[in-house]
Amino acid sequence: MPGTAARQRCHLCRGAKLWFDEAIALGEYDGLLRGWLLAMKHGRGESLALALAELMWRQFGSRLEAMQPDVVVPVPMHWRRRWVHGTNSAELLAERLAGHLRAPLATGLLRRTRHTPPQFSLPPSERPANVRGAFAVRPGYHLRAARVLVVDDILTTCSTCSAVARTLKQRGAARVAVVAAARTLRH
Protein backbone atom coordinates (compact mmCIF):
# COMPACT_ATOMS: atom_id res chain seq x y z
CA MET A 1 0.00 0.00 0.00
CA PRO A 2 2.42 2.68 -1.13
CA GLY A 3 1.78 6.24 -0.13
CA THR A 4 -0.78 6.13 2.65
CA ALA A 5 -1.86 9.65 3.52
CA ALA A 6 -3.28 11.14 6.70
CA ARG A 7 -6.41 12.09 4.76
CA GLN A 8 -6.98 8.39 4.10
CA ARG A 9 -7.16 7.58 7.76
CA CYS A 10 -7.10 4.02 8.88
CA HIS A 11 -9.69 2.80 11.38
CA LEU A 12 -7.11 3.22 14.16
CA CYS A 13 -6.83 6.99 13.61
CA ARG A 14 -10.47 7.91 13.12
CA GLY A 15 -11.53 10.46 15.69
CA ALA A 16 -7.95 11.10 16.85
CA LYS A 17 -6.63 14.66 16.84
CA LEU A 18 -3.53 14.52 14.69
CA TRP A 19 -1.41 17.68 14.61
CA PHE A 20 0.35 17.07 11.31
CA ASP A 21 -1.19 18.12 8.01
CA GLU A 22 -0.19 15.17 5.86
CA ALA A 23 1.55 11.84 6.22
CA ILE A 24 2.92 9.45 3.63
CA ALA A 25 4.56 6.08 4.07
CA LEU A 26 6.37 3.78 1.70
CA GLY A 27 4.37 0.72 2.67
CA GLU A 28 2.78 -1.35 5.36
CA TYR A 29 4.90 -2.41 8.33
CA ASP A 30 4.81 -6.08 7.44
CA GLY A 31 6.86 -8.81 5.80
CA LEU A 32 10.14 -7.84 4.17
CA LEU A 33 9.74 -4.10 4.90
CA ARG A 34 9.24 -4.88 8.60
CA GLY A 35 12.41 -6.97 8.61
CA TRP A 36 14.40 -4.19 6.95
CA LEU A 37 13.14 -1.61 9.44
CA LEU A 38 14.00 -3.77 12.43
CA ALA A 39 17.48 -4.37 11.02
CA MET A 40 18.14 -0.68 10.36
CA LYS A 41 17.35 0.30 13.95
CA HIS A 42 20.83 -0.81 14.98
CA GLY A 43 24.28 0.54 14.10
CA ARG A 44 24.97 -2.01 11.39
CA GLY A 45 21.74 -1.16 9.57
CA GLU A 46 22.88 2.25 8.33
CA SER A 47 23.38 1.19 4.71
CA LEU A 48 19.90 -0.33 4.73
CA ALA A 49 18.46 2.94 6.05
CA LEU A 50 20.16 4.86 3.25
CA ALA A 51 18.82 2.41 0.66
CA LEU A 52 15.29 2.78 2.04
CA ALA A 53 15.66 6.57 1.89
CA GLU A 54 16.54 6.25 -1.80
CA LEU A 55 13.49 4.08 -2.36
CA MET A 56 11.34 6.65 -0.53
CA TRP A 57 12.77 9.38 -2.75
CA ARG A 58 12.05 7.45 -5.93
CA GLN A 59 8.49 6.79 -4.77
CA PHE A 60 7.67 10.22 -3.32
CA GLY A 61 10.32 12.66 -4.55
CA SER A 62 8.00 14.86 -6.57
CA ARG A 63 5.41 14.86 -3.80
CA LEU A 64 8.03 15.84 -1.22
CA GLU A 65 9.34 18.60 -3.50
CA ALA A 66 5.78 19.92 -3.90
CA MET A 67 5.61 20.31 -0.10
CA GLN A 68 8.46 22.85 -0.40
CA PRO A 69 9.78 22.19 3.10
CA ASP A 70 11.81 24.96 4.71
CA VAL A 71 13.47 22.39 6.97
CA VAL A 72 13.69 18.61 7.39
CA VAL A 73 13.56 17.28 10.94
CA PRO A 74 14.04 13.68 12.11
CA VAL A 75 12.09 12.44 15.11
CA PRO A 76 14.68 12.60 17.89
CA MET A 77 15.61 9.73 20.15
CA HIS A 78 16.43 10.11 23.80
CA TRP A 79 20.20 9.94 24.25
CA ARG A 80 19.96 6.70 26.24
CA ARG A 81 18.02 4.90 23.52
CA ARG A 82 20.37 6.22 20.85
CA TRP A 83 23.34 4.94 22.84
CA VAL A 84 21.77 1.46 23.02
CA HIS A 85 20.84 1.39 19.32
CA GLY A 86 24.01 3.05 18.09
CA THR A 87 22.05 5.03 15.48
CA ASN A 88 18.84 6.93 14.82
CA SER A 89 17.31 5.49 11.66
CA ALA A 90 14.91 8.44 11.31
CA GLU A 91 17.93 10.75 11.24
CA LEU A 92 19.58 8.70 8.49
CA LEU A 93 16.41 8.77 6.40
CA ALA A 94 16.03 12.52 7.00
CA GLU A 95 19.63 13.25 6.03
CA ARG A 96 19.26 11.57 2.65
CA LEU A 97 15.84 13.10 1.92
CA ALA A 98 17.03 16.59 2.92
CA GLY A 99 19.95 16.21 0.51
CA HIS A 100 17.62 15.36 -2.35
CA LEU A 101 15.32 18.25 -1.43
CA ARG A 102 18.25 20.65 -1.01
CA ALA A 103 16.57 21.68 2.24
CA PRO A 104 18.31 22.27 5.56
CA LEU A 105 18.52 19.23 7.84
CA ALA A 106 17.94 20.29 11.46
CA THR A 107 18.93 17.31 13.59
CA GLY A 108 19.28 19.56 16.63
CA LEU A 109 15.99 21.46 16.30
CA LEU A 110 14.02 19.04 18.47
CA ARG A 111 14.98 17.22 21.61
CA ARG A 112 13.28 14.64 23.76
CA THR A 113 12.61 16.20 27.12
CA ARG A 114 12.39 12.87 28.89
CA HIS A 115 13.08 9.18 28.39
CA THR A 116 9.83 7.43 27.46
CA PRO A 117 9.08 3.74 27.26
CA PRO A 118 9.20 2.48 23.65
CA GLN A 119 5.82 3.02 21.99
CA PHE A 120 5.68 -0.59 20.77
CA SER A 121 5.73 -1.75 24.40
CA LEU A 122 2.47 0.08 25.19
CA PRO A 123 -1.11 -0.56 24.16
CA PRO A 124 -2.29 1.91 21.49
CA SER A 125 -4.57 3.69 23.98
CA GLU A 126 -1.58 4.65 26.18
CA ARG A 127 0.72 5.89 23.43
CA PRO A 128 -0.55 9.50 23.11
CA ALA A 129 -0.03 10.13 26.84
CA ASN A 130 3.41 8.51 26.72
CA VAL A 131 4.74 11.13 24.26
CA ARG A 132 2.62 14.13 25.30
CA GLY A 133 5.06 16.89 26.21
CA ALA A 134 8.06 14.67 25.40
CA PHE A 135 9.48 17.02 22.75
CA ALA A 136 10.76 20.59 22.77
CA VAL A 137 12.24 22.97 20.24
CA ARG A 138 15.77 23.95 21.24
CA PRO A 139 16.56 27.61 21.81
CA GLY A 140 17.78 29.49 18.77
CA TYR A 141 15.38 27.91 16.27
CA HIS A 142 12.65 30.09 14.80
CA LEU A 143 9.78 28.41 12.99
CA ARG A 144 7.39 31.28 12.25
CA ALA A 145 5.37 30.27 9.17
CA ALA A 146 7.82 27.41 8.40
CA ARG A 147 6.90 24.34 6.38
CA VAL A 148 8.45 21.41 8.23
CA LEU A 149 8.98 17.88 6.94
CA VAL A 150 9.22 15.41 9.84
CA VAL A 151 10.88 12.08 9.09
CA ASP A 152 10.30 8.89 11.08
CA ASP A 153 10.89 5.24 10.38
CA ILE A 154 7.53 3.72 11.42
CA LEU A 155 4.07 5.19 11.99
CA THR A 156 1.91 3.03 14.20
CA THR A 157 -0.71 5.07 16.05
CA CYS A 158 0.87 8.33 14.78
CA SER A 159 1.12 9.50 18.41
CA THR A 160 4.83 10.32 18.24
CA CYS A 161 4.65 12.31 15.01
CA SER A 162 1.51 14.05 16.21
CA ALA A 163 3.27 15.10 19.44
CA VAL A 164 6.23 16.33 17.38
CA ALA A 165 3.93 18.27 15.03
CA ARG A 166 2.09 19.82 17.98
CA THR A 167 5.38 21.03 19.43
CA LEU A 168 6.45 22.49 16.08
CA LYS A 169 3.13 24.24 15.48
CA GLN A 170 3.08 25.67 18.98
CA ARG A 171 6.45 27.23 18.15
CA GLY A 172 5.12 28.79 14.95
CA ALA A 173 5.34 26.19 12.15
CA ALA A 174 2.62 26.79 9.57
CA ARG A 175 2.57 23.30 8.09
CA VAL A 176 3.95 19.96 9.24
CA ALA A 177 4.09 16.97 6.93
CA VAL A 178 5.34 13.52 7.91
CA VAL A 179 7.11 10.94 5.79
CA ALA A 180 7.92 7.45 7.06
CA ALA A 181 9.26 4.23 5.67
CA ALA A 182 6.30 2.20 6.95
CA ARG A 183 2.85 2.52 8.42
CA THR A 184 1.06 0.01 10.63
CA LEU A 185 -2.52 -0.48 9.55
CA ARG A 186 -3.48 -2.90 12.32
CA HIS A 187 -2.53 -3.67 15.91
Give the global pTM.
0.86
Q: Which of these, 181, 134, 168, 182, lies nearest to 20 by C-alpha position?
A: 168
pLDDT single digits (tens) 10-25: 555 555 689 999 999 9
pLDDT single digits (tens) 142-182: 999 999 999 999 898 888 999 999 999 999 999 999 999 99
Residue-wise burial string across 99-125, b where 16 or more C-beta atoms lie within 10 A, e elsewhere: ebbebebbeebbebeeebeebeebeee
More confident residue, 116 or 26: 26
Strand partners, 136: 111
Tell me the C-alpha distance between 57 and 47, whole Å: 15
What would the mean pLDDT of 86-107 be, rounded to a whole number?
92
pLDDT in the model for residue 186: 63
User: 33, 181 in Cβ contact below 8 A?
Assistant: yes
Domains for the chain: give ranges and CATH numbers: 22-183 (3.40.50.2020)
CA angle 77, 80, 83 (to 5 degrees): 90
At position 89, the amino acid (one-letter code) is S
